[in-house]
Structure 1
């Protein structure tokens, strides 16, 4: 039998115990060294004094634990590596401050706030270990979630219990507490308690650097819900949430990356946070995700969304261009993931807005061809993607003749005509708008549109249900018949002229575009065949009634028709 002294000797010789003691001693030595270095820092004195106070408390606590029974507590040893990581991080900040080599005051102040919050968390965790030890899942009583109508005290007690589990529970207990936290933060009152409990926010931020993937992922999930409340965003940012989220983007799990990107997308809706993301290397991390073909679309989508939020800052936009964002996002337009497609198109559109140089870069990189591909009926793109594509094409191409020529060379007119004939209403409306805009560019384009077959389709749309479609179709048609070749083609079909005259019926409810229709008839009356078709139409009486009602354009048209050749036909109207 072993004596009591023999047992103690065996414990002292245990490799695990020896390693734990060694790490413990190293932590005390590094903290002492950092305290000494901090006295040499001359900048941000208030922040460094706060950090120094916390370091001294940590040093005292670890020293006390080293001299007591807790020196042999393996759970304490598990906490020390996290402390060492924070000490190492703070040591680098101290060195930069001493050498005045930090990149910016705001970034350094933010980093110091984050590291101070981490030391605070380590202090509270250490205090919990020293006071009550480390509970495990099998040794605690589980507090039930308060039901509907529970009093505020019960809710606060429940949140406090979750906090305790997060602070000093084992991994299983922490994970279950995070799941429970996710279930309650969606409720306004619970959310308020959680946010007002500073320790919880600090813990959640600290958990993002945990090695355990499950803890990371569940923590981001809670944080994402909290970030969805506008009043809570500043609390998260102030607690230093940006930097660890970006670290997860760089090296986290697929689920962690997706949740981190979604959270950053929410936080960067406030443009004030854009610089923080950029300062911590977030732009590069996000571009890497979007450029990496191995990344899942569900991660690329929100990553695109974050970059779209950041591109409004001119300096960040320039950096994105230098890092190859344009080619990366043009490639993404061909992605099979709809969210990635739409976000990439919108991102490029925002980048090019008001910036001719970037617009030309997008065009030279093949942006027009990629957008045209989205419109090709042979490919199964969604209506939403096609809507965004048409809008982007208008933004990129319609302001210069050279861009329009590239567009027409890619078969854009045929695609527009296809969607005018058979597209969903939302796509059709955008196609009609693009047609109307193109019809006002040049005579050559009007001729091409007439040759392709736009005019019969525009006549059909003059009676569409949508007022916007009717008006744009009428304006496009009015522009197109200014070209003699188009007028000749138009009047060859009797139904075209009759349709316009029929829509001029005074009591017709769809006559809001009457001025444009009269303008079209005025152009058609420039030729003998056009005048003949108008005068011989069964609906000429509609025009006469408008003239009788003193509609100016109608009176002008009737006068034009009343030449010697047609005087006998119209003399009854003018003699009345």
Structure 2
């Protein structure tokens, strides 16, 4: 003979309950009473049948207490009664086989009786739950209990949440879904509901189970509610304790787009704790997230949060190595070519964090330089390029070898282009990166001088921002320490004139102190001129420029040693020039 039917949707055996779509409490009482009487004729497995009769008596007593309730107006009660009737039919079938001794084996029958007792116990708990929650009424049943207003007391909130809990426990699919929607909305708008959800203790385990529901909408709404609960730090350990990570990862693998977004949103918050990062990895989360990110049909709305989860896992070195082995770098390099700005930025930030070792860094930097390429067929946004520039700066400027690789990879071309043509924010960031690069080594200054950076630094000497002026001046001073850069600069009369003009502006005695404080780079401009006077042609150009008197006034008013040295050097040069001219003519 077959085992006890566990699906509550099948028709019961005799004693035959009504075939109506909705059973009344009285019908269930009659069936259970008849079943108790029939069970007394069973002579085998006496202890187990005694347990079952005890549960039948408890169910009967509970039904008597609500006998006057109208099940047709109470969807929850109707669902409970239907389940009880199905279970009663299965119980009668087992009792008949025990009376006839027509079962196939003692162990099998004992197992069936244990399952049956557990089913009755569950129905008893459901019935007790709706009675305790107070959702049953003699005059009818509200399909949706109204949510309390903003000024509601704690008891009103608890009643509302308990009503929704009851629907989650024993309601049909539509009722469960509506309860999840209402509860999510309440938790999102008022944190008191989130606290009550956690305090009740029963809801979180139910939500975790519903994440594996075969109904997509229920699974999605469960993920949404779990994500809302995870917004509160004290609630995160409750979710972890209920085993939420494994089903969240299963949602990533089989859920809808909405469910995947909610699941990744929750995992972002949970993996802020490195202990939980291990749990995500142990349940196959790294592989699932990488597959999700690389899937052809994944949208930016999924890719960005999924990447954020992986980024949270990177601080754990073992997980980071596993990601690299699983091809995370190549996956994110492909993402860096995405036409979507958010995806590009996500990819660059992730590559910056995962790159470790020469080759991974080189691969990542090449991908970032492609984003910077102004001639690329898929032009990137300003924000994407700024992110790539910062990432390159963070990745490469700590290693001399990485810096030398930048020129090999063609980094200077887009850097110079945006220094000349970029939008304001991108141009300023390009200047910062270029100035820092110029300060790394003589080799970098040589290459940058050959590429044409020196005149660009001169243009920023008159910028509105004092920080930009000083930064450009320091970079230019460094560039001029390279002989071939200085030689090239001395042939550029317009650049020398700009420097002299900047020193001359506002040089009147009463304005000198104010202008010195305002420009802040007067000192570096004098140092640049001092560097140029090391060359005979440089001294001649400065001395014969017509700005010598202004320089002398500046040095006298400012009182700086650099200014006096410059005047002295230019004066000595002028005397030598005059002396040489006299000797020549004699």
TM-score (ref. length: structure 2): 0.72
Question: Per-residue CA shift, 1:90-125, capped at 9, x if unaligned?
Answer: xxxxxxxxxxxxxxxxxxxxxxxxxxxxxx9x9877
CA distance in 2, matches of 1:195, 1:522: 72
Match of 1:452 in 2: 451
Between stretches 531-540 and 553-562, larger displacement belongs to 531-540
Question: Per-residue CA shift, 1:344-374, capped at 9, x if unaligned?
Answer: 221221123xx4x2x42342xx333221111
Match of 1:128 in 2: 126
Alignment of 1:247-262 (within 5 A): 247-262=250-265
Alignment of 1:140-155 (within 5 A): 140-155=142-157
Match of 2:277 in 1: 274
1:228 aligns with 2:226: no
Question: Per-residue CA shift, 1:387-446, capped at 9, x if unaligned?
Answer: 121122223334455544443234321211121122233322321122123223444442
CA distance in 1, matches of 2:121, 2:186: 27
Match of 1:301 among 296, 300, 304: 304
CA distance in 2, matches of 1:276, 1:126: 36
Aligned length: 471
CA distance in 1, matches of 2:130, 2:166: 11
Distance 1:61 1:424, change over 3 A: farther
Distance 1:77 1:539, change over 3 A: farther
Larger radius of gyration: 2
Distance 1:185 1:542, change over 3 A: farther
Match of 2:538 in 1: 530
Distance 1:321 1:482, change over 3 A: same
Aligned partners of 2:83 and 2:123 also within 8 Å: no
1:483 Cα offset (Å): 1.9
CA distance in 2, matches of 1:181, 1:319: 38
1:202 aligns with 2:205: yes
Match of 1:161 among 163, 167, 171: 163
Match of 1:34 in 2: none
Distance 1:528 1:8, change over 3 A: closer
1:559 Cα offset (Å): 2.3
Question: Per-residue CA shift, 1:483-505, capped at 9, x if unaligned?
Answer: 22222322333332232234345
1:275 Cα offset (Å): 1.3
1:73 Cα offset (Å): 6.0
CA distance in 2, matches of 1:236, 1:445: 53
Distance 1:376 1:128, change over 3 A: same
Q: Which runs of 5+ in 1 are unaligned?
A: 1-6, 15-56, 80-119, 570-576
1:207 Cα offset (Å): 1.2
1:159 Cα offset (Å): 1.9
Between stretches 303-312 and 381-390, larger displacement belongs to 381-390
Alignment of 1:337-416 (within 5 A): 337-352=340-355, 355=356, 357=357, 359-363=358-362, 366-378=363-375, 379-400=378-399, 402-416=401-415
Alignment of 1:401-480 (within 5 A): 402-480=401-479
1:555 aligns with 2:564: yes
1:383 Cα offset (Å): 2.0
Q: Secondary structure at the match of 1:312?
A: coil
Alignment of 1:178-197 (within 5 A): 178-186=180-188, 187-197=190-200
1:477 Cα offset (Å): 0.9
Between stretches 256-265 and 450-459, larger displacement belongs to 450-459
CA distance in 2, matches of 1:526, 1:76: 102
Q: Secondary structure at the match of 1:462?
A: helix
1:282 Cα offset (Å): 1.2
Q: Secondary structure at the match of 1:523?
A: helix
Match of 2:175 in 1: 173
Aligned partners of 2:80 and 2:127 also within 8 Å: no
Aligned partners of 1:185 and 1:225 also within 8 Å: yes
Match of 2:8 in 1: none
Question: Per-residue CA shift, 1:510-547, capped at 9, x if unaligned?
Answer: 42233432322222112222222322345444532442
Aligned partners of 2:386 and 2:429 also within 8 Å: yes
Q: Secondary structure at the match of 2:572?
A: coil
CA distance in 1, matches of 2:277, 2:271: 6
Between stretches 486-495 and 328-337, larger displacement belongs to 486-495
Between stretches 367-376 and 442-451, larger displacement belongs to 442-451
Q: Which runs of 5+ in 2 are unaligned?
A: 1-11, 20-47, 64-78, 88-117, 579-586
TM-score (ref. length: structure 1): 0.73
Question: Per-residue CA shift, 1:237-263, capped at 9, x if unaligned?
Answer: 222211111111122222211211121
Compute the RMSD of aligned alpha carbons. 3.6
Aligned partners of 1:374 and 1:389 also within 8 Å: yes
1:199 Cα offset (Å): 1.4
CA distance in 2, matches of 1:467, 1:65: 86
Aligned partners of 1:480 and 1:486 also within 8 Å: yes
Distance 1:555 1:325, change over 3 A: same
Aligned partners of 1:375 and 1:389 also within 8 Å: yes
CA distance in 2, matches of 1:515, 1:238: 64
CA distance in 1, matches of 2:292, 2:57: 45
CA distance in 2, matches of 1:512, 1:123: 83
CA distance in 1, matches of 2:53, 2:392: 64
